[in-house]
Each structure stands twice: as C-alpha cells, then as structure tokens.
Amino acid sequence: MRDYPAPCRFSYYFFSGGYKMNVLLIDDDRFVVAALQKKIDWASLSVSEIFSAYNIRQAKKIMEDNSIRICVCDIEMPGGSGLELLAGPRT
C-alpha cells in the first residue's frame, strides 16, 4: 500500500548544447514540490527533466533509475533523513 502518490515526471525539451541535465526534487510536502516545479525557470538552467519524490524510498528508486545532476532535498522527512540520502551516492 502506497502512502504517497507515485513520483511525478515532467519533461522539458530544452537542450543547451546537447547537454541533458536532470533534477530531483524531494520533499514530503507536495505543495513545496509543486511550487519549485512551477516557480523556477528550469529551461533557462538547461534542465531537461524534473523528477519529484515525496519520501526517501521514492527518491532512492528515481536515483537508481536515472542520472540525476541536481538534487533539492528536504532534510527532515518521515522515513529517513535527506542528509543520509544525499550522502549515499558518495560512498
């Protein structure tokens, strides 16, 4: 049984010099994620895809399946710490 909705995936077809950059937004508050998606001009930052996760489990799955260049993460979330999640890929 899923506590949160499935991760969202928004695609922006903007490529700067052929370079594709992906962003992952992680927050347990869906309103924060939605605000970041809408208020930031991702195309001007050469971002081609925006992924979102609402818990650590979803974020780990997205990070395993995709090449994420930028990660914006809440620090305190139910089910795990954002700091622990971000330290994981370094080890």
Helix/strand/coil for 26:
strand
Element (H, E) at 65: helix 56-65
Give the pLDDT score at 16.
42
Q: Averaged in consecutive runs of 10 residues, what is the pLDDT profile of the chain (91 residues)?
A: 48 51 94 95 90 92 91 88 77 46
